Amino acid sequence: MAEQPTMRAAVIDAFGAADTLRVTEIPVPAPGEREVLVRVHAAGVNAIDWATRAGQGVGVAEFPAVLGWDISGTVAATGAGVTRFAVGDAVFGMPRFPALAGGYADFAVAPEAELARVPAGIDHVTAASVPMVALTAWQTLFEHGGLLAGQRVLVSGAAGGVGHLAVQLAADAGAEVVATASGDNHDFVLGLGAHRAVDYRTEPVHEVVRDVDLVVDPRGGEDFHRLLGVLRPGGILVTLKGESADHRRSARERGVRAGFTYVHPDRAALDRIAALLGEGRIRPSVQQVFSLDDVAKAHSIGEVGHVRGRLVIELNDEESQ
Ligand SMILES: NC(=O)c1ccc[n+]([C@@H]2O[C@H](COP(=O)([O-])OP(=O)(O)OC[C@H]3O[C@@H](n4cnc5c(N)ncnc54)[C@H](OP(=O)(O)O)[C@@H]3O)[C@@H](O)[C@H]2O)c1
């Protein structure tokens, strides 16, 4: 019998600190029906990755587990019934979320319906930085928030992964964007298209911003309650952190609305995001690129909570151009 091929992957054997991540050899997965095997050239590192590693994110059914949802790479094999892609195509996406996708590995298997083509002129590191944060921003702004041109949006945490895409997508849609960020990040968020930047460390955002139609709240908790105060009557705050009857009640009492995004793979939105990326209408910012061996370093930097833009792991870089 032929030996099963193996690949390098960063795995965790239990929940724990960043040094729980270790690189080892595991079998290359095989694509099932309507799935493709992707040779991963780059994998985005998201907040949910380090939360899951620590046991505070999505459920993990068995160990060792391979984290990582954002992938960009080339199709290496196709399963039965695949019609959208062929071997050699450059693809990216956030497959399977919230089930594990195994992105921190040389190869990952993904449903073809949850991938899009990497636009011409976009490298894999850039593409891998996009799917989760852009889908989250998209679903928050347009699906839950119902954003329209001319409305005023407050993007909290605007220099972070979700925030820096939310600013660009909202500005591209014709909204007026108020961004909160540390002072050091003001030039960055204004350069992304924000019309005004507020330093949440030195100014009480809920006292200096008014008449907002839509708030993007990546933090929840106290922020949720405070930021309700910036909305105009009938406005909506969409949080990324927890949904509760208490939230909805607080919003109702103030004559505003509360929504919640839990990001999900979405082919139509990903195709639209890919088009915007290809047209240069959104430009993700990658703060730092790591090798697979340094994935623990990426987690340690990310979980401090002040990344500007994105962190990305580069794999198989000899072929990634
Ligand atoms: N529900 C969902 O579907 C979903 C999807 C994606 C992400 N999320 C969650 O959304 C959150 C943000 O994700 P992300 O990818 O944007 O994370 P991130 O890139 O790690 O966010 C870092 C940003 O947070 C900002 N920040 C830190 N402390 C802040 C504070 N006290 N007030 C305002 N901003 C602050 C920082 O701004 P400065 O450096 O300028 O201070 C930094 O730019 C995470 O908790 C993540 O788990 C949820």
Neighbours of 305 (CB within 10 A): 10
pLDDT at 153 over 50: yes
Question: What does the pLDDT read at residue 268?
Answer: 97
Task: Give residue 37 CA to ligand 1 midpoint distance, Å.
Answer: 31
| pLDDT > 80? residue 1 | no
Per-residue model confidence (pLDDT) at position 321: 42
Residue 147: burial class (beta carbons within 10 Å; 0-12, 13-18, 19+): buried
Checking if the pLDDT of 145 tops 50, the result is yes
Q: How far is CA 155 from CA 164, 200, 214, in A?
A: 9, 11, 9
Q: Report the alpha-carbon distance of residue 253 to residue 85 in Å, rounded.
A: 50
pLDDT digits (tens, 9 = 90+) for 233-256: 999 999 999 888 888 899 999 999
CA of 27 to the centre of ligand 1 (A): 34
What confidence score (pLDDT) does residue 247 get?
86
What integer pLDDT is reported at residue 318 of this predicted model? 59
- pLDDT-based confidence at 183, cuts 50/70/90? very high
List C-alpha distances in Å: 196 to 9, 154, 208, 279: 42, 10, 11, 25
Q: Which residues line ligand 1 (CB under 6 A)?
A: 46-48, 51, 132-133, 136, 156-157, 159-163, 180-182, 185, 200, 218-219, 240, 261-263, 302, 305-308
Q: Using CA atoms, how far apart are residues 237 and 254, in angstroms rounded to an integer?
A: 12
Probe target for ligand 1 pocket from 48, 58, 154, with the most ligand atoms within 8 Å of CB: 48
* pLDDT for residue 154: 98
Could you tell which of 70, 200, 217, 260 is best to mutate to test the pocket of ligand 1, judged by most ligand atoms within 8 Å of the CB?
200
Q: What residue ranges define each of the domains in the chain, with the CATH number in brackets? A: 6-130+284-319 (3.90.180.10), 133-260 (3.40.50.720)
Q: Is the dihedral of CA 43, 45, 46, 50 positive or negative?
A: positive
Is residue 297 scored above 80 in pLDDT? yes
